[in-house]
Structure 1
Amino acid sequence: MVEGFYVGIDGGGTKTRAVISKENGQVLAEVVTGPSNPNYYGLEKAAANIVESILKALNKVGADYRAAKILGCCCGLSGAGPKNRPKMHAEITLQLKAKGIVCQRLKVVSDTFLSWYSAFAGEDGIIIISGTGGIVYGRVGSNDMSSYLNIEKARLLRGGGFHIGLYAAKVLKVNTDSILRKVVEENFNSGKLWGKFSHRLDLSMIIQDILRCFDHPEMNFLKRSDVAELAKYVDIAAESGSPWAKRILKASSRQISVNVQYVANKLRISGQQFSVAVFGSVIKSMIVKRHLRSKLFAIEPFAKIQDPRYPPEVGALMIAIGNLYHDIS
């Protein structure tokens, strides 16, 4: 008898996380594979890591992929914009067939959409994602809105780790904050920060490469996720009393709050009670949390910050089982 499974996948710029279940939705196994953002790694590599996650999940529950059937699979991917979603769908389908894996229904949605669904189980609300990048997205009924459409947003400081890293690099370049520099130098020298570059680049070369982003679309050596690593140490420096680190995190919190208000205005819920869920490593900073709550309360006093109901990969699993939404939502 052919076994049937459902798979939910949350794919990003650093890793891909997948969960597998039967129709009852009980998670049987969870696996992690390499990154699956097609903008950073290309369609073929991103799809290969997704297919690998499905194979690993089947293997972990003791199922032979040649005899098993994927009844439904939903992939929520960073970098899966309107142009990439159908391309990713086609590439994943192609690679699944090449491996001999039967998948009856495959859906590809953006990580933003998946985070919203996971946060509210499909109900109205606004999400804040502040990891490597930063975005605010909201949905009320069939209407949705993203802070990417805010033409008045700051040119660079949008609330994500990448933008925090950019401005920290600018401070490090002019050496105006001894606390921030000490924290960064200590962690760079110990290999905790940018250890993979230390054998060929010194700290000043890395800072210079980051600063290229103010005038060029790409860096010579680093990726956006590498720059975002600096956000953790900006937070440590801020907790240690660094004035510039505090200023950067405070500005980041302010921009996130402004973006929430922008989305709420466009959805016509500004000034009303609505829920806000937060995702991402930057939001874990106590300084960012404190300033975000304060600033958001000042401009949207009825907004209620809550934890997401489900992790993104579980939200993807729910979409797969329920056959919800189109495959290029």
Structure 2
Amino acid sequence: MKKINVLGIDGGGTKTEAVLMDENYQILGSGKSGPSNYQSVGIEVAKNSIQSAIIQAVINSNSHQPISGICLGLAGVGRAEDFIVAEKFIQEIITNLPIKWDLQTHTTIICSDSNIALVGGIGDAVGVVVMAGTGSLIFGQNNQGLTKRVGGWGYLLGDEGGGYNIAIQGLQAALKSYDGRESPTTLITDFQTYLGLKNIEGLIEIVYRRGWNAKDVATLAPIVFAAANKEDKVAKKIIQGAIEELSKATKIVISTLFQPHEIFEVVTIGSVWRGMENFRSWFENSITAIAPTAQVIWPRHQPVYGAALLALKAVEDINSKFKIQNSKVTSH
């Protein structure tokens, strides 16, 4: 078999990872750098992060084999106009990097981070990925190549079931309880203790004056999980709502893509799934009730590995088509 080296890149909002993989699915080298969601950090920062991660992966590999394929799963790339922007700066990266390339038309792949999360998590392009970290997004693909995405609208417009959504509901419930508009809850004292506040009114200074962003707020989700574990009714209601939202979105993806008899996997990715002992099992029961053939699993690989798998498949598809065409030519 011809030796093949491909690059997989996971470009996220906080970090960028790259791996160099060979035709035997072995990781030869890896690299890590800063954020590369061009929507939030700009094109130049995104380019520099991707370049840095690629250079590290190639240098660390000590391989001198040309790169035959590259797949970039990028956060912030979901609409047609996003792909146009990304294709332009990715081409600049490929042109400028002092690396041996052996790329063909269909062996440079740009896709969303949900695509590589699915392939990495399951090890295959068919199935469903339920991402619940700071935000939330559900994405699936079936055997016919049809895809469906639900959620991922960002913390202001959606992301139900994500860490930010859970935390902000917890904070709002604590303040409502303090006002007398909500049932009594331990969340008031829980937040005070965790944040070192004299009283719950101190949230104003932390959230507004310190300019907390979505990720900062999401770090408070474990406080809501802990209160729910202690049978706080207000916190439990928030957590149950999160499960219902994630289940509802996942069911839409499943019903769109799969027939009742089809066997497929649903992979759960993100910090929220480990936030509370029964959280994932409640979700799993909800999915099994409507799709008994679905199996809920933990991720088998990281998203960056999924990107490399997609790049390798693209190269192998091109090579196999070349072999078929060659055999047709020689047979005449």
- Taking structure 2 as the reference length, the TM-score comes to 0.77
Determine helix, strand or coil for the equivalent of 1:147: strand
CA distance in 1, matches of 2:224, 2:77: 29
Alpha-carbon contact 1:157-1:255 (below 8 Å) kept = no
Superposed displacement of residue 29, structure 1: 2.8
2:18 maps to which residue?
18
Superposed displacement of residue 316, structure 1: 0.9
What are the within-5 Å matches in structure 2 for residues 6-45 of structure 1? 6-45=6-45
The percentage of aligned residue pairs carrying the same residue is 26
2:170 maps to which residue?
168
CA distance in 1, matches of 2:222, 2:313: 38
* CA spacing shift, 1:188–1:70, aligned 2, 3 Å: farther
Of 119, 123, 128, the match for 1:126:
128
2:273 maps to which residue?
283
Superposed displacement of residue 149, structure 1: 10
Amino acid at match of 1:205: E
Aligned residue-pair number: 297
The answer to whether residue 88 in structure 2 is matched with residue 81 in structure 1 is: no
The answer to whether residue 263 in structure 2 is matched with residue 294 in structure 1 is: no
1:313 maps to which residue?
304
* CA spacing shift, 1:26–1:51, aligned 2, 3 Å: same
2:146 maps to which residue?
143
Alpha-carbon contact 1:160-1:252 (below 8 Å) kept = yes
* CA spacing shift, 1:182–1:9, aligned 2, 3 Å: farther
Deviations 1:126-155 (A, max 9, x none): 2211112212222112211122499xxxx7
Superposed displacement of residue 54, structure 1: 0.8
Alpha-carbon contact 1:127-1:276 (below 8 Å) kept = yes
Deviations 1:55-76 (A, max 9, x none): 122232346xxx7743322111
* CA spacing shift, 1:208–1:146, aligned 2, 3 Å: same
2:89 maps to which residue?
91
Alpha-carbon contact 2:32-2:52 (below 8 Å) kept = no
CA distance in 2, matches of 1:325, 1:232: 44
* CA spacing shift, 1:274–1:185, aligned 2, 3 Å: same
Alpha-carbon contact 1:179-1:237 (below 8 Å) kept = yes
CA distance in 2, matches of 1:123, 1:182: 46
CA distance in 2, matches of 1:149, 1:48: 26
CA distance in 1, matches of 2:19, 2:130: 23
* CA spacing shift, 1:298–1:5, aligned 2, 3 Å: closer
Alpha-carbon contact 1:47-1:88 (below 8 Å) kept = no
Superposed displacement of residue 258, structure 1: 0.8
Bigger-Rg structure (1/2): 2
2:219 maps to which residue?
229
Determine helix, strand or coil for the equivalent of 2:278: helix
* CA spacing shift, 1:181–1:29, aligned 2, 3 Å: farther
* CA spacing shift, 1:103–1:204, aligned 2, 3 Å: farther
Taking only aligned residues, the RMSD between alpha carbons, in angstroms, comes to: 3.2
Alpha-carbon contact 1:130-1:160 (below 8 Å) kept = yes
What are the within-5 Å matches in structure 2 for residues 200-215 of structure 1? 203-208=203-208
Alpha-carbon contact 2:185-2:233 (below 8 Å) kept = no
CA distance in 2, matches of 1:125, 1:31: 28
* CA spacing shift, 1:240–1:304, aligned 2, 3 Å: same
2:326 maps to which residue?
none
Alpha-carbon contact 2:8-2:72 (below 8 Å) kept = yes
CA distance in 1, matches of 2:195, 2:67: 45
1:50 maps to which residue?
50
1:244 maps to which residue?
234
1:71 maps to which residue?
68
The answer to whether residue 259 in structure 2 is matched with residue 269 in structure 1 is: yes
CA distance in 1, matches of 2:23, 2:73: 20
Alpha-carbon contact 1:157-1:252 (below 8 Å) kept = no
Superposed displacement of residue 110, structure 1: 0.5
Determine helix, strand or coil for the equivalent of 1:221: coil
* CA spacing shift, 1:274–1:172, aligned 2, 3 Å: same
* CA spacing shift, 1:186–1:323, aligned 2, 3 Å: same
Task: Return 5+ residue gaps in structure 1 as ranges.
Answer: 191-201, 210-219
Alpha-carbon contact 1:12-1:36 (below 8 Å) kept = yes
